[in-house]
Every structure is written in C-alpha cells, then in structure tokens.
Structure 1
Amino acid sequence: MVSRYFQHAPAVWAAHPDLVAGAVYATGLTATVPVAPELPVEPVVARYLAIARARLAGGTEADGTEAKLPEIQAWRRAFGRMGLKPTQYRCASESLLRRLRKEGDLPRIHPLIDLCNAISVAFAIPVAALDASRIAGDLRVRPATGDERYLAFSGEVEHPEPGELVFADAGGEAHARRWTHRQSGHSAVRADTTSVLIVAEAMHDSAPSDVPKLVAAVADELSALWSVTPSMGALSEPGSRFAFPLP
C-alpha cells in the first residue's frame, strides 16, 4: 500500500517543543450511522457534551484575556508566540467551548463532525477532521510561503500570510489557517465523504496522556458507530509522522 504522511515541520517543533499530536485515519464512513440510522450519533454526542458542560460549570473557558482551562491556556500561549491576539484568534476547541457556554449546545452538521466537535469540547483539545480524498499527497503543519490557496467557507479563496502556520498539502492547498484556528472548506467533511484524517494537538502539561485518550476515544466511537477499523498514531517528537493511504 502506498502511503502519504501527516507531520509537523522542524520549525513547528522548535517553536513549540511541548506539542503532542495524535492522528486517526478511517475509511468506509457514510453520512448516516449504520448501527443506528434512526438516532445517528446523538446519544454519544450528548455524553461528551455533558462532560464539557460539567467542566464549564466550574467557570468559563476564558475570562477576557485569561484562559481558565489548562488546555486553552497552553494554546493561548502558543498563539501569543505566533503574534496572534488571544481574543481575536482562538483555537478551535476554545471557540466551540465558548459557543457551547453561550448557546447551551453545538450545531448538528454531519454525524462525524458532530462527534469530533463533542469530543473536542470534552477534552478542550482542538480536533480537525479532514476529508482525506481532498488532500493531495503529504500534509504538513508548516510556515506558509504565502502562495498557498485557502478556501473559506464563504467560497472566497485566500492566501495565508508568509510565515503563518498552516496545514499545507503537496498541491499547495492550505487546509487550515493559523494552525488550529480555522479549517478550510476545501477538505471539510461532507455528505459524500468516505475517508477521513482526524488530528488532535495539545501542549498543556497532561497532553502526553490526554491526547492518546482522545485519539482512542475517536477511534473507538468510529469503530462502534460505523463498524470500521481506524488506524491511529502519535506524534510527540521532531520527525514523527503518521502514514495514511493515498486515495
């Protein structure tokens, strides 16, 4: 089997040595859940959202410029090192937690996205779910050159700022801007998605134990709900990479 790879550039590890990442690849997915098509993933989503609400019951995820959850604190420090204002650019898990706290729930978009979002807020760790068929060759988290293409959900094509951290594939597509801030519409999970690459990244003190737990939870739920056999991997040091099949 010919593989491609997900990994972080040396510059990312040099600037963020506490990074711990995990990845899951699965194929054979559908927009409905075969084991319970009449009640998709709702009970599972509800279980993880309950964990997140319990964490928020002790206070907000952030108060102004001060993050209260260690997972969010670590990402705010990382964004600060990238020169980003913490209240202007939030990592994906902080944005989801903020929405959950303000609205009491998260929108239902697609069973897989709903599951990943719920697990993300339960762990307070950013989780990216990408349609693997839309990734050209290897995928790297690296500083942008400025020539990459990023498809916003509005349909507008943007070009990242040079030096900005992006998820970039071999074809020059940026699948996320400002690292864990915002994903691209190009590889967003949609109704016809059958294969996915799911990535979780964290930098807080207990990340070495939390990220593997999150990755295992994602893989277990995919296996239980879609009857698939995901592959998993850990990336915790420079040069580590995760192999997943070419489409």
Structure 2
Amino acid sequence: MYFQHAPNLWADHPDLVAGAVVVVDGITPDADASARVGDHTAAALARLADAGQEAELPEIKAWRRTFAAMGLKPTQYRCASEALLRRVRKEGSLPSIHPLVDLCNAVSAAFAIPVAALDLAAVTGGLTVRPADGTEEYETFGGETEHPAPGEVTYADEAGRAHARRWTNRQSGLSAVRPATRSVLIVAEALHETAPSDVPKLVATLAGEIAALWPVTPTTSHVTAAAPRLDF
C-alpha cells in the first residue's frame, strides 16, 4: 500500500508540507483518550483567545488562499481544521466519535492543521492526492454517492474511490474510522510559512499519543516533491 501526491499537485503548490502516521493492526475503540483530547482542545482554545478568530491564524489563512486559488469560496468550503476550530470556539469542545478520531481532531485543532485519519481496510491499493477526472465515487457519511468535479483535488485509490472532497474539506464515509477499524493512515498537510517545522511536530505528537494509548508502534514519514511516495 502507498500514499503519494501527484507531481502536478507539487508543481501547483510548492509550499505544501505533508506528514503521515501509519498504524498497522492494533487500534481499538476502548482506549480512554479524554485527558489527552482535553489538553489539545485547551491548547486550541488558548490560540483562539490570542487570535480572536480562527481565520486569523496563519495556518488557516494559507488554506483559505489555496481554496480561493482553486475556485472555492473560503467561507463556504473550509479546510477541516478551520471547521474544527469554529466548533471549538463556539462550543468549547469537540464531539466524541472514536478515541482515535477524537485525538486526531483535537491535535488538528491545536495545530490548526488539517488531519485525515483513514481506515486502511477501505482503501484499495493505495492513495494518490490528485485532481479528480470526474469518474471517482465518493461516499458521504449518509451513504450517498457523489462524484468530485473534474479538477477537484481528492484522495483517490486504485478502485476509483474518492476518499476526500475538495482536498482537506471533507473526508469520505467509506474510509472513516469506526469501532471495527484496526489499521489507519493519518495524514497532515499544511501550506503556511512555518509548516516545515510545524508538520513534523504534529506528526511526532500524534505518534507519541497513539503509542501511549494503544499497544502499537506507529511509523512516521514525510513526503516531499523529491520523495512524493510513502510505501508501507
């Protein structure tokens, strides 16, 4: 199995920084992540208190610029971390879904960087972040099928399934982490000025938290334009 970004994506977004955490066999839904989730949520709230609005954070500004360049209205389609921060600001917390998802969401909010967690059992062959050709099938969380528009950036597997809409806007229900999930690929992507140092820190933070909560040894990696493919 592999994860990679298409060459044209690197050409169009040379400031992209991406990191990944791979956990093979060992995730269970019974871990208690509440304390760690609380700590990272508190860190997100502290950043918001300083910034005032999530849109003022450099991480979010960079994704807003990218979405606008792709023809997407930034206030209509928000990257996942902005959506999480909006919820934290309004409600003071995040909903509990699954301990791993809760942890990823809280860390994403704390770093203001989008984080995707995908159940590897639902991925065929591997994943390529690339512009869609319009034939890919995306399954919503409600079980409906959509087709990303041609040119829309998605996570596509070898079976033609789209595991994301609008790059970092929304994940697929097909590969969402569920109680039966055991193996996971976690991806963080950023475009802001300090992303080269922030993304590795986020990846290391998640790997450490996961290793503390489950009997697993996460593998971490970074993909670049020069080495765009992660095989695992």
Q: Normalised by the size of structure 2, how large is the TM-score?
A: 0.97
Q: Tell me the alpha carbon deviations over residues 117-157 of structure 1, each in whole angstroms, 9 at most, x when there is no partner.
A: 00000000000000011110020000101000000112110
Pair 1:48 & 2:40 matched: yes
Contact in 1 for aligned 2:43/2:110 (Cα 8 Å): yes
Aligned to 2:14: 17
Shift of 1:24: 0.6
Contact in 2 for aligned 1:13/1:19 (Cα 8 Å): yes
Aligned to 2:228: 240
Code of the residue aligned with 2:30 in structure 1: it is T
Contact in 1 for aligned 2:117/2:185 (Cα 8 Å): yes
Say how many residue pairs are matched.
231
Shift of 1:61: 3.2
- Counting only pairs closer than 5 Å after superposition, residues 144-163 of structure 1 correspond to structure 2 as 144-163=132-151
Partners of 2:175 and 2:53 in 1: CA distance: 28
Partners of 1:17 and 1:219 in 2: CA distance: 26
Q: Secondary structure at the match of 2:81?
A: helix
Partners of 1:59 and 1:207 in 2: CA distance: 18
Q: Please list every run of 5 or more consecutive structure 1 residues that lacks an aligned counterpart in the other structure.
A: 34-39
Q: Secondary structure at the match of 1:200?
A: strand
Shift of 1:11: 1.2
Code of the residue aligned with 1:125 in structure 2: it is I
Q: Please list every run of 5 or more consecutive structure 2 residues that lacks an aligned counterpart in the other structure.
A: none
Partners of 1:243 and 1:195 in 2: CA distance: 15
Code of the residue aligned with 1:29 in structure 2: it is I
Code of the residue aligned with 1:138 in structure 2: it is G
Q: Tell me the alpha carbon deviations over residues 39-84 of structure 1, each in whole angstroms, 9 at most, x when there is no partner.
A: x11000011011101001123334xxxx300000100011011110
Shift of 1:239: 4.2
Aligned to 1:136: 124
Partners of 2:201 and 2:229 in 1: CA distance: 19
- Counting only pairs closer than 5 Å after superposition, residues 171-186 of structure 1 correspond to structure 2 as 171-186=159-174
Fraction of identical pairs, as percent: 63
Pair 1:190 & 2:147 matched: no
